[in-house]
Structure 1
């Protein structure tokens, strides 16, 4: 983890201040040899270097620093600044040489080492970066986490875990280190060590709900359902207010055929304000599937959906709509789909489902209105013209039906079934309009298409 560059700049001021003092000349004193001329030149080149760096002219800045070094190479800051200029120019070899020279003159300078570390990182030179960051570790613990990351890159997983253990012991657990730790476990496939680490966390800090949940997840992932179930029950025993544990418990209860407890856990999840809508939708989907196979529990599903009426995500509404379509309760399914449209009025798939149900339920005026409105958004969708034509036919408005059906038929491509539906509706419309000749002509087209299918 790189330290903020503004800190480096702050310390640079401290480095350059004494150097400027060293280069300062008493202009009221007449020099008695060439020393004054050298001091003037040194100071002039140094300020030129700063100026050129300030306007991002790194090569000229480097050239000016080299002139300073030629006059007096004692100050390591000159090589530090030179290295930074070369790094900005992507001349990493020269940057490395300059920074190494700075470090040789000031081996304990953290900022010189940090800059060299950055040069190696930009080149993806893991081996050299490792050597450098090992020197930096004594300055700041953040470098120790960098060391763990580099060990992972170098595939030295045991060393990486050892560093992470040391950091966790000293500073406690954190998300970044857990990410690195899981990288190691994933790369090595060592689930036993991963689980052992989580078990230790639960023992050392039984108040932390997150540790239990991670352990439950890992047990489940490795197929040890019994241990996962027992851990979930332990969490509930130690923290009866936990809501998240029920995300695991309801499945375990279902598998254990403890239906009453499973339903109670699902109720807890679906009515909790602290659980994300995506998780709730997954639980509801499982409950819907369960009720589809066990319809005697539909009253409990109805009860739960009533409890969450004020807190339904679109995913939840879709799950409920699909359930009621499965059990052929089209009225309820349509109600939930219409609620989705209030949240997502341009969702074309939901619009299609609503239109089909409106026609099935003889809500023809509603289908006519919605299809007309949607055609303004999707003027090239033939299904909308078809629905509009069907609705007009059912409302005994054949001229409007003909107009929309003939227009929509032009948008049908490689779909003989849909084209057949258009011709069927056109036959009906022309018959209503007392044009029997055209009605029969379209009926023959339907017959011809059916033979091709």
Structure 2
């Protein structure tokens, strides 16, 4: 996974390089300006991430808005603004930037998931804003059906599938929906023990499997299985934690940070799991020699936050 720093650099190069042929003097001047703007952008962006990490959302938003002044059409910034406004309980602004992000990248699963979360917090879904987003995009609809299915909203997932032409994706997901409904009906009728209900939950089964792989020290297999689990259930935070755990175990600390930071966005009302994320972040930052960031997350564990 590309780091946020890499994304920032690539984006700025893409939007700031001048078009056409310039005189040598103009090219040198533009190169200096680009380098200065790139440095400022990176500084502001990482400041925003730092402030967001310590829950100082107002300062994080201010830094991101300054980033947007430098790169007005950056969908990464739009998405970060949406997530940060959401965390700050400013849902109207959060939705505005979430829509901008999904308009820029209709096929992006993470952007759509964020928009759905924000709409649900307002007691609604995407139906009311179909005309404000590229709803006719096939990948967007497939992602929407996938998210609804993962959240056990089977009827809503089926309704979205009706809008799509028949394909391997629609057939496979329809089968999964039908199997899940049958399984739930069977569970309700037979009233099995709580332990059996948990075992019938595919997310629970995967979680137990990943934890077992870690305890056995099978890091390579843990890395592979965590990746597969994230692709199937992209909004389940434990799988990002498991991926970060595996990457830390393989000494791929920078890559581990990307997954851990992304995964924390999906954690709600689960302090135990959040503390596990903090622990792996401490390990990664310490290994990279970034002691200030390591101490920040270490103190959050001590505070039980």
- The interval holding the TM-score normalised by the smaller chain is 0.3 to 0.5
Query: Over alpha carbons, which structure has the higher Rg?
Result: 1
- Using structure 2 for the length normalisation, give the TM-score: 0.42
Larger RCO (alpha carbons 8 Å, 6+ apart) = 2
TM-score, normalised with respect to structure 1: 0.30
